[in-house]
């Protein structure tokens, strides 16, 4: 059964990192949604920091939940190319060079193209999207991303009618990354084309109002908020449209544990642990995990008629 949470997603206004705490306090005092509009309003654009073109616009798709403190978002990471301990990416990812950087978009498209990262940054207006991120390991965060819909990038290359899936390949540079065969590098992920085109699917280039830190997947990473965190591939170098379901790093590593869809689902346990609850980083008591990570109203329709226990 799907839980509807119509009050959850409301317009947010854009706020420099320094005044986040103040904004949250204001929202709590004056009662969420309407106050966000009153405080921000349509003019509340955020001048972009160096390294991002501006301005950055608030997105009505943001959750009003309290963002996880920035220090946790940038120091408790999964980025196995830089080590498997949660603290490793923040320690090691400084070695990643994010310029020059290109992203090739090819496969079943009319106009295959290799984009320079600085072209990508200007493809579409940047937005701030505050999303819940639910990791498969049963912890979660709330992250104020800066990015643009993946659909804006895909439209540039004219997907063909035969394209049904999208494969994402991330950087593998053994001169700065792990040489241990933890996963079959390069890390790959995949989405169905309709999932990739969904307005919630974001290409993130920043967080907390600033350029994306390397450990969070600089210079560009995927964010699919209704799926387990591992679908959100970091440091993407290639996006390929296909007519068959692509292999993914985690599905290859453990097909019984990590399905292709990986929609957040409290009713389908991981074979080694329950997915019914999660620990929000910074909180003591566990919360109930919501179907599709709380985004069921927006995305459940994509899976109409599917058995989500079999296609997990
Ligand atoms: N290239 C790459 N992308 C990756 C991973 C990884 O190991 N390598 N880990 C994934 C997992 S398991 C999670 S939970 C999220 C974590 O994103 P964050 O560190 O920005 O919170 O990144 C995902 N993207
Ligand atoms: Mo994860």
Q: What CATH number is associated with residue 236?
A: 3.90.420.10
Nearest CA to ligand 1 atom 23: 230
pLDDT for res 2? 41
Angle between helices 32-39 and 20-30 (to 10 degrees): 130
Nearest CA to ligand 1 atom 15: 229
Does residue 26 sit within a domain?
A: no
Give Rg (Cα) of the chain: 19
- Which residue from 265, 252, 270, 104 is spatially nearest to 190, judged by alpha carbons? 252
pLDDT for res 223? 99
Does residue 131 sit within a domain?
A: yes
Which residues have any ligand 1 atom within 6 Å of their CB?
Answer: 77-81, 133, 135, 170, 187, 216-217, 229-230, 232-235
Q: Tell me, in angstroms, the distance from the centre of ligand 2 to residue 159's CA.
A: 29
Q: Token pair of 41, please? A: 């309003």
pLDDT for res 27? 44
Does residue 274 sit within a domain?
A: yes
Q: Tell me, in angstroms, the distance from the centre of ligand 1 to residue 240's CA.
A: 20
Does residue 283 sit within a domain?
A: yes
229 in Cβ contact with 136 (< 8 Å) = yes
Nearest CA to ligand 1 atom 7: 79
154 in Cβ contact with 105 (< 8 Å) = yes
* Closest ligand by atom to 144 CA: 1
Mean pLDDT by 10 residues, the chain (312 residues): 41 47 45 43 72 93 96 98 98 98 99 98 97 98 98 98 98 97 97 98 98 98 98 99 98 97 98 98 97 98 97 97
Q: Tell me, in angstroms, the distance from the centre of ligand 2 to residue 32's CA.
A: 30
Does residue 30 sit within a domain?
A: no
Which of 140, 206, 229 to probe ligand 1 with, by most ligand atoms within 8 A of CB? 229
Distance of CA 128 to the CA centre of its chain: 12
- Which residue from 125, 129, 134, 132 is spatially nearest to 144, judged by alpha carbons? 129
pLDDT for res 44? 66
Q: Is 140 exposed, middle or buried (0-12, 13-18, 19+ CB in 10 A)?
A: buried
- Which residue from 252, 256, 188, 245 is spatially nearest to 222, judged by alpha carbons? 188
pLDDT for res 18? 46
Q: Tell me, in angstroms, the distance from the centre of ligand 1 to residue 75's CA.
A: 12
Q: Tell me, in angstroms, the distance from the centre of ligand 1 to residue 78's CA.
A: 4
Does residue 143 sit within a domain?
A: yes
* Closest ligand by atom to 84 CA: 1
300 in Cβ contact with 12 (< 8 Å) = no
Does residue 94 sit within a domain?
A: yes
| Count of domains for the chain | 1
Does residue 36 sit within a domain?
A: no
pLDDT for res 46? 82
Q: Token pair of 210, please? A: 């600033």
- Which residue from 20, 48, 49, 51 is spatially nearest to 36, judged by alpha carbons? 20
User: Model-level pTM?
Assistant: 0.89
* Closest ligand by atom to 250 CA: 1
SS3 readout for 96-144:
CCCCCCEEEEEECECCCEEEEHHHHCCCCCEEEEEEEEECCCCEEEEEE
Residue 168 is part of which domain span? 47-303
155 in Cβ contact with 196 (< 8 Å) = no
Instruction: Please give the biggest Cα pair distance in the chain.
Output: 52
Nearest CA to ligand 1 atom 14: 229
Residue 261 dihedral angles phi and psi, to the nearest 5°: -75, -50
Nearest CA to ligand 1 atom 11: 230
User: Who contacts 167 (Cβ-Cβ below 8 Å, separation ≥6)?
Assistant: 107, 188, 189, 190, 238, 239, 240, 241, 242, 246
């Amino acid at each position: 059964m799907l839980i509807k949470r119509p009050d959850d997603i409301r317009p947010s206004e854009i706020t420099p990192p320094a005044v986040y705490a103040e904004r949250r306090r204001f929202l709590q005092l004056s009662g969420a949604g309407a106050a966000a509009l009153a405080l921000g309003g349509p003019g509340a654009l955020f001048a972009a920091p160096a390294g991002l073109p501006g301005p950055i616009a608030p997105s009505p798709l943001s959750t009003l939940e309290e963002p996880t403190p920035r220090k946790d978002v940038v120091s408790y990471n999964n980025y196995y190319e830089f080590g498997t301990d949660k603290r490793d990416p923040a320690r090691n990812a400084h070695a990643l060079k994010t310029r020059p950087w290109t992203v090739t978009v090819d496969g079943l498209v009319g106009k295959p193209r290799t984009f320079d990262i600085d072209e990508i940054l200007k493809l579409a207006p940047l937005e701030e999207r505050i999303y819940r991120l639910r990791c498969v390991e049963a912890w979660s965060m709330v992250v104020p991303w800066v990015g643009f819909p993946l659909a804006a990038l895909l439209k540039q290359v004219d997907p063909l009618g035969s394209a049904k899936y999208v494969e994402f390949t991330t950087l593998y540079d053994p001169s700065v990354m792990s040489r241990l065969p933890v996963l079959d590098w390069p890390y790959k992920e995949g989405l169905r084309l309709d999932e990739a085109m969904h307005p919630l699917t974001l290409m993130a280039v920043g967080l907390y109002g600033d350029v994306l830190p390397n450990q969070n997947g600089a210079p560009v990473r995927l964010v699919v908020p209704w799926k387990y965190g591992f679908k959100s591939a970091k440091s993407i170098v290639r996006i390929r449209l296909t007519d068959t379901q692509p292999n993914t790093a985690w599905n290859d590593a453990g097909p019984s544990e990590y399905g292709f869809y990986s929609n957040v689902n409290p009713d389908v346990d991981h074979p080694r642990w329950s997915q019914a609850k999660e620990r929000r980083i910074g909180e003591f008591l566990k919360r109930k995990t919501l179907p599709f990570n709380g985004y069921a109203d927006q995305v459940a329709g994509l899976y109409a008629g599917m058995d989500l226990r079999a296609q997990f």
